[in-house]
Amino acid sequence: MKVGIISIINENNTFLPEPTTLEDYRQAALFLGEEVRREYAAAHNEVTGFFQGLEAAGLQAVPLLFASAGATGVVTNHALDSVWKLAVEKIKELGPFDAILAAPHGAAVAEGDRHDMDGWWLTELRRIVGPKVPIVATIDPHCNLSQKMVEACDSITAYRENPHIDQRQRGLEAVGILVKMLNHQAKPTMRAAFPRVMINIESQGTRQEPMLSVMREVDRVRARPEVLSASVVMGYPYSDVPEMGTSFIVVTDNNPKLAESLANELADWLVQHRELYKGDFISPEAAVQKGLTAKKPVGLLDMGDNMGGGSPADSTVLVHLYQQLAKQKVFVCLADPEAQAQARRAGIGAKLRLKMGGKSPVSPAAPLEAEVTVTGLFDGKYRESEPRHGGQVNFNMGATAVVTTATGLTIMLTERRAFPGSLGQMTSCGLQPQDFDVIILKGVHSPIAAYAPVCGTLIRVNTPGTTTADMVKSLVYHHRRKPLYPFEEKI
């Protein structure tokens, strides 16, 4: 049996002014046919799980397309049409198929009436392959689930870990459900519930409270013999779309009434406990002071400049505070191709004055201007051997320069936005986490898998920016669900 594999992974922040273009896909990840297998057969994500599960089941895996521009602004219709055309061409060239394994993200947003981008392309996929071909999918739990996504697929399972280190396992879970379908051992019936609640991004770590309580409720449902899969979909607050919010998915074996009842039970539980999921919101000043006496190194999670949520990764809010303190050994990575190029031209050992970071139109603070010494120049490429958030193996920060100030700051200047999901970001440039008092991390949960083992303390900081955790006070929405807690108390 032939099983097609297709993945379009986008997390689109509608508060960013720059759109996502076809060139963004080409620079990030755009693989066709066997290119997908070469890139991901030995990685750590759900597509890796697809390949491994199908091989174990004796089914033929036929990779079609993997496309991702990462976390960026709204996708242009030209980019979406271009990527989808490539997918359709591969489907027609390599089909027909006995089944499809799909890996959308779930928080993709395109222009105009295709704001539910994942719902759009999954519906198109269903139209092309027909109603009888099984489509089994995985999604990121930062998905803003839509009814269109549910109706287009036979089964959907969300990653269960945040940071996302279980993507390969969820790919294997999807294959297991698909194999049961193809062997006529199960008939998935899926239902979703959409409580009027948004779990705050700060509260979404699955290995600590309050999310542990939600996961226990989901585990209770998953343990039932009639249930094939059950998921909490935490939602993505930086897409201002009608689908924004938390949801629950339950997939049963030929029992739609039970699936609906269990999904609604989970939704009701969240509504009853909604006050637990508002977030703590520690201010930058309070976080810096707390870090002075905390166990070192202190990892400060810069939530307002969360690169995984689409931020420019160049905020200087926390850096300015440490520049004033002085003599704290602080590491920060700033996406700043201009300053990186100036440092590179000057050369290792050179001293010069640079304006660093804070140059994006949406950056919440001015650039940091300081006298620096260039201590290292690198190509910015490295590999990650362990499962980390996103399952990525190959990283490319672009041309990279490391500079230091007399006040104790070590600043990594990168040509591209650099995802802080791997210690390789530091170690590939000759830096060790234990040599610093403070490591500023451009994320909320994604850095945890890599940095929790090496940081004595982790503090999530309510910094300003396009990914601020304080969504109620700091972001203006026009299209979200209404009412929706915590925006509205009464729901």
pLDDT of residue 338: 98
Beta strand 394-396 with 188-193 is: unpaired
| pLDDT (mean) for 353-379 | 97
* Residue among 70, 73, 60, 8 at smallest CA distance from 34: 60
pLDDT of residue 327: 83
Residue entry with tokens 């200087």 = 316
pLDDT of residue 394: 84
pLDDT of residue 404: 98
Q: What is the pLDDT of residues 112-159, one digit of tens each?
A: 999 999 999 999 999 999 999 999 999 999 999 999 999 999 999 999
| pLDDT (mean) for 359-366 | 96
pLDDT of residue 179: 98
User: How far apart are the C-alpha atoms of 435 and 86, rounded to whole Å?
Assistant: 47
What are the CA-CA distances from residue 315 to residues 320, 340, 406, 464 (Å)? 10, 16, 21, 9
pLDDT of residue 393: 73
Q: How confident is the model at residue 389 (pLDDT cuts 50, 70, 90)?
A: low
Q: Which of 10-14, 180-184, 416-420 is predicted with the least confidence, judged by mean pLDDT?
A: 416-420
User: Is 348 a residue whose pLDDT tops 90?
Assistant: yes
Q: What is the pLDDT of residues 454-470, one digit of tens each?
A: 999 999 999 999 999 99
Distance of CA 101 to the CA centre of its chain: 20
Q: What is the pLDDT of residues 58-103, one digit of tens each?
A: 999 999 999 999 899 999 999 999 999 999 999 999 999 999 999 9
pLDDT of residue 386: 79
Give one DSSP letter per residue of 385-431, joined into a string.
-S--TT---EEE--SEEEEEETTSEEEEEESS----SSTHHHHTTT-
pLDDT of residue 385: 78
User: Is 388 a residue whose pLDDT tops 80?
Assistant: no
Name the average pLDDT for the chain: 96
Residue 385 is encoded by which pair of tokens? 């051997």
Q: Residue 216 burial by CB count (10 A; 0-12/13-18/19+): exposed, middle or buried?
A: exposed
pLDDT of residue 225: 97
Phi, psi (degrees; rounded to nearest 5) at 367: -60, 155
Q: What is the pLDDT of residues 274-293, one digit of tens each?
A: 999 999 999 999 999 999 99
pLDDT of residue 465: 96
Beta strand 457-461 with 298-302 is: parallel
Residue 322 is encoded by which pair of tokens? 């440490």
User: Is 390 a residue whose pLDDT tops 80?
Assistant: no
Strand partners, 441: 301
Phi, psi (degrees; rounded to nearest 5) at 69: -110, 5
Q: What is the pLDDT of residues 195-242, one digit of tens each?
A: 999 999 999 999 999 999 999 999 999 999 999 999 999 999 999 999
